[in-house]
Structure formats: structure tokens, C-alpha cells
Amino acid sequence: MRLTRIAIYLTALTCLSQPLSADMAERAEAAITKAETLEQNTAEQGDVTRADPDDTITKAESRAVDPAGEAPLDDAITCLARSIYWEAKGDGADSMEAVASVVLNRLADGGFPETVCEVVKQGSEQGACQFSWWCDGRSDTVQEEEPYRMATEIARKALNGQLKDRTDGALYFHDRSVAPGWSDTFVKTAEIGDLFFYKPN
């Protein structure tokens, strides 16, 4: 009798997981499509604007894209969330939002690539990545669930145009523990957590 109940439970669980997986896939696909539209709008318009209601990425959609933080970096949400995570995961929400703003400010600027992933991966072909985590030789798989969940939510809001730019239009940043030579040629716009932000004169 007990084995029969276990078998029924496992069968029901298997049947339920298939629709859940299909639903997750649909949400992820919707989020990726919306993100492509939003990044294209930002690149073409030259600024980050609030998404139309039909294009707004929902929380459920963004969480379905790369919930474990181990998918290939080939869509805007994953690339942006991983950048936020790796550049500012130990520094709190304000710094994470500021990193998101830098990526989107670059996307809106004509001097940088026209997709989030291209912005994030820029320079890797010469071995001089703009975002250090991308070519540091270490695994890019997420290690901490909660900071990555926060990074994904910030990425969603950033793409939707729902974040205030705390950096005042910054295109560059560095950690306070380093002093790159390029920082003297730009205007410092903000200090947020352990990060300093800059834009051209």
C-alpha cells in the first residue's frame, strides 16, 4: 500500500514538472525577446528610457532566464546580471545598480557596442577586458544564490528603465583598491561603496 502511494506521488510529480518546465521556458523566451527590444531601443535612442508596458520584463520572466547562474552568456539579462554580480556582489544594492547603469550608459553611447553582451565582453579579443571578471581566467558560474538573485532583479529593472542612474552618466568605474592611469583623464561622477565612477570631460 505504501509503495503504491509513493509510486502515485512520483508519477504526479513527474507530470507536474513537465508543465512547470515548459512554463519556465516560455517565461525565459519572453524575457529574452523583451530584453532584445529594450537594449535595441537604448542603443538607437541614445538613452535608457522606461519600457512600454508590453515590453516590460516581469520578475518571473527574468528569473526564468538563468536561475542557477550557469547559462552561457548570450542574452542581455544573463550578461548584465553576471556583470552586476561579479563586479559588485559584495558591495550592496547601490553599487550593483551603479554597475548596471554603467553598462546601459555604454549601450546608449555611440562609442561602445550595440548589445549588452558585446559591451560586457568588449576588449576580450585583445586580452584587455573592459569588465575584469570576463577575462580573469576563472569560472563565470555564480557561487552565491542570494546576491545573484538580487543582480538578476537589478538587471531586469535596468533594462526596463526603472533604475535611477546613481553614477550621473558614468561610462567607467574601478574599485577603490586600484588607481588606473586612465582615471586622471576623466571626471569622477560618484563614489558608491568601494567603486569610483567616471565619465569623459
Is the CB of residue 98 less than 8 Å from the CB of residue 169? no
d(CA 27, CA 32) in angstroms, rounded, equals 9
Q: What is the mean pLDDT of residues 124-135?
A: 74
Residue range 132-147, pLDDT digits in tens? 777 776 777 898 999 9
pLDDT tens-digit series, residues 106-121: 999 999 999 999 999 9
**Average pLDDT taken over every residue of the chain:** 87
Burial class of residue 1 in the structure, from the number of CB atoms within 10 Å of its CB (0-12 exposed, 13-18 middle, 19+ buried): exposed
| 86 compared with 124, residue with greater pLDDT | 86
Alpha helices by DSSP H, 46-181: 59-65, 76-88, 93-108, 116-121, 145-160
128 touches 182 (CB < 8 A): no
Q: How many helices (H) and strands (E) does the chain have?
A: 6, 3
- List the one residue out of 42, 122, 121, 111 whose CA is nearest residue 82: 121
* The dihedral sign for the CA sequence 186, 122, 141, 40: positive
Q: Which helix (H) or strand (E) holds 73?
A: none
Q: Provide the whole-model pTM.
A: 0.86
**192 pairs with which residues across the strands?**
195
Rounded to an integer, the average pLDDT of 45-67 is: 93
Annotate 145-186 with DSSP letters as a single string.
Answer: HHHHHHHHHHHHHHHHT-S--TTSS--EEEETT---GGGGGS
